[in-house]
Structure 1
Amino acid sequence: MQLSSSSAFSRRWITASRLLKSGKLKEIFIRTYRIIKRRKLKFRLIDYADWHEEWVEVGQKDTKRITELINSLPHQPFFSIVLHLDVTNHAAATSTIESIKEQIYPNWKLHIITSKNINSESLQKNISTDDDRIKITNVEDYDLNDWVIALDSQTRLGKAALFSVASSIVDTPEVSVIYSDNDHINSLGIFCDPYMKPSWNPDLFESINYLKPFTILHKNLWEKHLNPEEDLHDHLIQATKKMSAKEILHIPQILASIHIDNQKNLLVPIVNAVKNNFPTKEPLVSIIIPTRDQGQILKTCINSIYQKTKYTNFEIILIDHQSSEKKAIRVIDFLREKPNSRIEKYSGNFNFSAMVNKGAEIAQGEIITLLNNDTEIIEENWLELLVTQTIRKEVGVCGPLLLFKNRTIQHAGIHPSKNALMIHGHKHEKENSPGYFGHLQTKHEVMAVTGACLSTKKTTWDELGGFNDKNLKVAYNDVDFCLKAREVGLRVLLEPKVKLIHHESASRGVEQEILRNPRLQKEISYMKDRWGEFLFVDPASNPNLLTTEEGLSLNPHPKEIPIWKNN
């Protein structure tokens, strides 16, 4: 998930040339130091084999600890495991069955359902079923316990899998759906390619069944899946719409493994096309653009809106911060002649929040879309797609995929880092990258999106109080607004089908180092005080992952470790 070395070199050379022309030698030194520091960090990235050994594998000491914890449970849930076999791959089936028999947690029954073309007697001879908890049948006629797990013959469970689930059920009795992280096993039998999943993310689940391969359902929910011809994913999409997030539990542990035989295409899952209903009548969209001078980039932005936007019902509100450059004034005068535009003057020190708030006050649209003056529209359906998501009642904010001029990714959602600085996801990946396990192929919830292009309903903007123009005049105002939306139960979505070019750093100079920037220090301090731990809750990530400017990596010290490792 890294930029190619040639692309990285090209991008850094362009940046260095720009800084040289501006005389910012100190900034060049700082960036060079950062690059060297990051390259050193690359050599310290954790190998998954080492991580797996420390946090996943169950040793003798772990087994003893798990047994103690099982005996201390106030009650012990019982699991019905349903294994459908429609192939004669006895080796794969044996691996799955053996992994179930190796479970430290004892309360389970395995129902092996065979298709008509499989001889049950032959299967019984080839597969060791010397356990009265294992039954083989070719009909779906069996008694269910309180919890049901559907497995296929390519999935192998870790020894602690059922215990981890049972313990979670005891701790959170309100749950009805449980899922875990998983990794893969290649043809050499090596564990690889861990899929560290996000917490419940309904828009992502609607397109990608990321709950597989180890999904645990309460008996009541399973029994509603009456039609065996109906895909379980489709059933759960509808069922979970009637459930609260508290009823769906993610266990951030590698509890299952999928045999892939080096089929890397399996690491990019099937994505179901989901079409949200567009309003019968286009709602008016107020596009708010703060600007000052820099006429060429403003011209590019304005022209691209008018030339490449298929959506017709919009107005442009330009907030002019004392522009004096001749070219900028000509662009503003050109815009003034447009019937669907308004120019608002803003004076005083730079305050991005106050500028967009001023635009929102006079906005007449049902939808507000913030747009930086250094963005460029490249696809005609951008506004239609943003409106389609923003207008949904459960959505508070929606943002697009932003690209650098070289068409690599600049922004694909905002993620928190340990020092409270924000990281842009999938940065420098190719424009058409599927993203981490296909996440960039569909809309999904993220912690926040950037104010460079941010869409929200006017009612939501007003209810949340817009941007904080007192404490967050320059930075973090967009993140703060998104957190306010999530705080009241609204979703913040990334819609990667919408792509814009963001000529980053053209609007303002390169941000100074934190230690040299009292204003930024103050804004970070405010965010920490205002949001506390919620500032670090990321619905698009996982406690087993670290998001850095270099991309995703394994967290050497997971934020949530298995209870049986927590001695």
Structure 2
Amino acid sequence: MGDMKQQRALPERVWRELARVPRNVRRLLSRAAPRVTGKMKTGTPSIDRYEDWISKNEPNREELDVQRRHSAASLAGPKISLLIPVSETSPRFLDELFESIVAQTYGNWEACVVDAASSNTELLRQWSEADPRIHLDRLVTNLGIAENTNRALHAAEGDFIALVDHDDVLAPFALHEVACAIRQNPGAEIFYSDEDRLSESGKRTKPFFKPEWSPELLYSCMYFGHLTAYDRHLAVALGGFRKEFDLSQDYDFALRAVERSQKIVHIPHVLYHWREHAASGASGGKPEARKTNIAALADAVKRRGLQAEVLETPTANRVRMVMTDPPRVSVIIPTDSPERAIKCGHDLVAGTGYPYAEFILVANTSLIHKMKESVEISSNNVRLIPFDEPFNFSSKCNAGAREAIGERLIFLNDDVEPKESSWVQNVIEPLENPEVGAVAPKLLYEDGRIQHAGLVTGVREFVGTAFHREQAATRMHVNFAQSMRNVAALSGACLAVRRDTFFEVGGFDEKNAAIAHSDIDLCFRIRLAGMRCVYTPFTELQHTGRASAGLTPNEAKPRRDKSTTYLLNRWGEYVTRDPFFTDNMRDWLFADSPVPIQMFARNQFPPTPSQIDILFVSPDLTRSGAPLSLFHLAEWCRGNGFFVTVAAPVDGPLRNKFVAAEIPLIIDPLTGTDHPSFGRLIGNFDVVVANTVKTADAITVRSRENVPRVWWLHETELGQRFLRKDARISAALSLQIYWSRRAIARSRFIASTPPAQCTS
């Protein structure tokens, strides 16, 4: 056996691989054959969108059988008691309900059925005799929905109770998912799932995908809905359901339960089919329920000691905080536009009805001199703060905040115009709740469509807008745009915070979010401090666009913005996962980029101190040689002080290794394509490493930034076959001659730098 070759250090091996790139490029080009073109197949038949979603996201027959076998073979899991009060309903609906119950893939359940003197006694008796888990209690009179449910609760012996209406249907895997969630979340006392509607003909429609626990949204509506399960001991301790809130007894119960629960869990599966028929609540057949709904909420507000009034709006409830001692408000407006500054100093002040507001305009000295000569802004409520430093939007806002005397701060872009004089009080009133840290209103484009109804994360390009470009009064997705609710982040175009909160979390980040994403970063720090970000629809402002972000002629162009990469580095979990715009919501509602995407990252405190941000592009996440080589290189780079991110078009078993190594991972079908969003992603990084010949588009795709790209080619004969089939690869190879020279120079620096220096 001969002597083994000396193992080179990884940096040197990397450099040697990169150095081979030009040689491999020339070799492939010299053997290239013309590309054979072909036509794409067209004419794919269109199908119902929700039916398509169901086929892709719900278990098929074989998977349901696996669940049944697992339930039969495993030790007893949590026992789930279904509380089913029955009054007059269609025998067909009852049959379909019990068929769905006995067909559950999870077996440890009981159905506590209370027959409230209905005409379906015989049918119910047959079902109770057919399955011993169905327990029947017949009443001689109908006690009302709350008392009927209490009778079922008193008979229940399960670990958890779940509420089921007599005319609805459970998904066959409903209790399986509830039991799994209970096992995975020890200590949780409340569980709720997504749901949809069921027509009388049996067609499933109108999916309601829900956010995770959202206190403000529960004020706006009973969004828990169905299927909801509660720890039985908690339900008993609450005293069950209250008769005075009949028809909204479940809402009253939920409002009381969340006050005592330490953990509330959303199950992101459609487990319940809410029947639509003339007499059902799903079709608006219970008009009296609105009155008891408002009464239950008013009782909760009183019980919690909130100084607030409960209002009924056409689309949602509103809990309006009462400001017994109205706070002083400072409206901070960074500007360098003479026209908009004059307009803010006059029209904005005149159009604001809040008597305790001051208006702080932060501008360059030259503009301030002009403004002081203007009679239009002679009001004592307007203050002018000079700012002559290089363009830095965060610094401007912080300068205004330091001069502010208000207990509440509203940061306002100079191109935002209120539509009503009460805008200030409507924006700041939720801040009377100390658990709320930031508030922003509905912003509209000039055509009246929504620009901002809360920001969302976990979408392509990381941050987007909920219900973007929908009509201002849209009732889409159970009136979410018309409901006060919790959101991941808020737009800084009009953003209200308490003064002490703003400075406690450090204000706007002047270094890492000088221009873009300063509002996102601030909201994330507010959330990290344990407070909530709240969107309010109860005032509307018009935002003319991005005029306020423009530069004046005398300002130098800022250096390349790296705020997106900073967000991913520091706020990886927050920017890739939105608890208030869950994956199902995103894939169903986010119209700006509807192709599904998965992202995995973690928050880092402090973030990785990196001078070079690297994007690795892999053709897949299999455990084959090239992806594994990329993983080891990415892991080494991360361990030596570089911030790295990996993007791949498809999921695979290697995903778990990246997640365990805490390397941000983007699984996006548009990765490695010529889609503009992929080009914009590339523009956030200092260098791109595209792995194998299959990632040609990572080399050719256009990007606003001149980002060096390294094509890490492993193939020779295989590469020739790809080259003959696809002219893009030939184009990419010619580009790579240029990119490789830049990248090799950089890689030589990395390879020759000791690890201690690499981490700087």
TM-score w.r.t. the length of structure 2 is 0.62
Match of 1:361 among 390, 399, 402: 402
Change (3 A) 1:199 1:228: same
Contact 2:441–2:540, Cα closer than 8 Å, also in 1 = yes
1:161 aligns with 2:189: no
Q: Secondary structure at the match of 2:56?
A: helix
* Structure-2 separation of matches of 1:243 and 1:63: 32
Contact 1:287–1:315, Cα closer than 8 Å, also in 2 = yes
1:537 aligns with 2:589: no
Tell which deviates more after alignment, 316-325 or 83-92: 316-325
1:376 aligns with 2:392: no
Match of 1:151 among 140, 164, 187: 164
Change (3 A) 1:426 1:58: same
Aligned counterpart, 1:137: 137
Given residue 121 of structure 2, which amino acid in structure 1 is its aligned partner?
E
Residue 64 (structure 1) shift:
3.4
* Structure-2 separation of matches of 1:43 and 1:347: 60
Contact 1:149–1:215, Cα closer than 8 Å, also in 2 = yes
Larger radius of gyration: 2
Residue 195 (structure 1) shift:
1.2
Aligned counterpart, 2:641: none
Residue 46 (structure 1) shift:
8.3
Equivalent residues in 2 for 1:140-289, closer than 5 Å: 140=151, 141-223=154-236, 224-229=238-243, 230=245, 231-244=249-262, 247-261=263-277, 266=282, 273-289=317-333
Q: Secondary structure at the match of 1:368?
A: strand
* Structure-1 separation of matches of 2:234 and 2:373: 59
Residue 260 (structure 1) shift:
2.1
Contact 1:290–1:356, Cα closer than 8 Å, also in 2 = yes
* Structure-1 separation of matches of 2:455 and 2:594: 16
* Structure-2 separation of matches of 1:472 and 1:445: 23
Change (3 A) 1:419 1:54: closer
* Structure-2 separation of matches of 1:74 and 1:343: 71
Contact 1:293–1:323, Cα closer than 8 Å, also in 2 = no
What do residues 342-381 of structure 1 show as CA deviations (whole Å, max 9, x unaligned)? 1100013211100000011111111010001001111122
Q: Secondary structure at the match of 2:464?
A: strand
Residue 418 (structure 1) shift:
4.1
Contact 2:342–2:376, Cα closer than 8 Å, also in 1 = no
Aligned counterpart, 2:355: 312
What do residues 499-522 of structure 1 show as CA deviations (whole Å, max 9, x unaligned)? 101111222359xxxxx99723x1
* Structure-2 separation of matches of 1:238 and 1:382: 32
Q: Secondary structure at the match of 1:432?
A: coil
Root-mean-square deviation over aligned CA pairs = 3.2
* Structure-1 separation of matches of 2:399 and 2:45: 48
Calculate percent identity across the aligned residue pairs: 26
Change (3 A) 1:227 1:472: closer
What do residues 294-347 of structure 1 show as CA deviations (whole Å, max 9, x unaligned)? 41x334444443233222111111101355499xx3488446522222110001
* Structure-2 separation of matches of 1:333 and 1:77: 73
| 5+ residue gaps, structure 1 | 1-39, 511-515, 560-567
Q: Secondary structure at the match of 2:323?
A: coil
Given residue 258 of structure 2, which amino acid in structure 1 is its aligned partner?
T
Given residue 398 of structure 1, which amino acid in structure 2 is its aligned partner?
V
Change (3 A) 1:294 1:506: farther
Q: Secondary structure at the match of 1:376?
A: strand
What do residues 163-203 of structure 1 show as CA deviations (whole Å, max 9, x unaligned)? 11111111111110001111222243222221111001011
Aligned counterpart, 1:486: 527
What do residues 4-47 of structure 1 show as CA deviations (whole Å, max 9, x unaligned)? xxxxxxxxxxxxxxxxxxxxxxxxxxxxxxxxxxxx9x999982
Q: Secondary structure at the match of 1:497?
A: strand
* Structure-1 separation of matches of 2:371 and 2:45: 52
Change (3 A) 1:110 1:266: closer
Equivalent residues in 2 for 1:456-475, closer than 5 Å: 456-475=497-516
Aligned counterpart, 1:546: 586
What do residues 217-250 of structure 1 show as CA deviations (whole Å, max 9, x unaligned)? 1002221143441412112213313433xx1111
Change (3 A) 1:43 1:208: farther
Contact 1:543–1:558, Cα closer than 8 Å, also in 2 = no
Given residue 84 of structure 2, which amino acid in structure 1 is its aligned partner?
L
Contact 1:413–1:425, Cα closer than 8 Å, also in 2 = yes
Contact 1:311–1:383, Cα closer than 8 Å, also in 2 = yes
Given residue 278 of structure 1, which amino acid in structure 2 is its aligned partner?
V
* Structure-2 separation of matches of 1:151 and 1:104: 17
1:67 aligns with 2:110: no
Change (3 A) 1:97 1:71: closer
Aligned counterpart, 1:292: 336
| 5+ residue gaps, structure 2 | 1-41, 140-150, 291-314, 552-556, 601-760
Q: Secondary structure at the match of 2:180?
A: helix
1:86 aligns with 2:87: yes
* Structure-1 separation of matches of 2:390 and 2:333: 17
Contact 2:398–2:507, Cα closer than 8 Å, also in 1 = yes
* Structure-2 separation of matches of 1:219 and 1:470: 51
Contact 1:425–1:551, Cα closer than 8 Å, also in 2 = no
Equivalent residues in 2 for 1:505-520, closer than 5 Å: 505-509=546-550, 519-520=560-561
Change (3 A) 1:549 1:112: closer
Aligned counterpart, 1:385: 426
Contact 1:182–1:255, Cα closer than 8 Å, also in 2 = yes
Q: Secondary structure at the match of 1:388?
A: helix
Given residue 315 of structure 1, which amino acid in structure 2 is its aligned partner?
E
Change (3 A) 1:66 1:240: same
Equivalent residues in 2 for 1:393-404, closer than 5 Å: 393-404=434-445
Match of 2:49 among 47, 50, 54: 47
* Structure-2 separation of matches of 1:104 and 1:180: 17
Aligned counterpart, 1:526: 566
Residue 484 (structure 1) shift:
0.5
* Structure-2 separation of matches of 1:264 and 1:399: 36
Tell which deviates more after alignment, 482-491 or 141-150: 141-150
Given residue 399 of structure 2, which amino acid in structure 1 is its aligned partner?
K
What do residues 48-100 of structure 1 show as CA deviations (whole Å, max 9, x unaligned)? 212202322431x2133213543675651001111122223211122111111
Equivalent residues in 2 for 1:420-431, closer than 5 Å: 420-431=461-472
* Structure-2 separation of matches of 1:190 and 1:283: 53
Match of 2:518 among 474, 477, 484: 477
Contact 2:190–2:231, Cα closer than 8 Å, also in 1 = yes
Contact 1:120–1:137, Cα closer than 8 Å, also in 2 = no
Change (3 A) 1:97 1:334: farther
Contact 1:445–1:540, Cα closer than 8 Å, also in 2 = yes
* Matched length: 507
Tell which deviates more after alignment, 269-278 or 228-237: 269-278
* Structure-2 separation of matches of 1:137 and 1:552: 52
Contact 1:158–1:255, Cα closer than 8 Å, also in 2 = yes
What do residues 266-306 of structure 1 show as CA deviations (whole Å, max 9, x unaligned)? 489975533333221110011100011241x3344444432
Q: Secondary structure at the match of 1:519?
A: coil
Given residue 423 of structure 1, which amino acid in structure 2 is its aligned partner?
G
Tell which has more relative contact order, 1 or 2 (C-alpha 8 A, sep 6+). 1
Contact 1:290–1:372, Cα closer than 8 Å, also in 2 = yes
Residue 487 (structure 1) shift:
1.1
* Structure-1 separation of matches of 2:45 and 2:469: 20
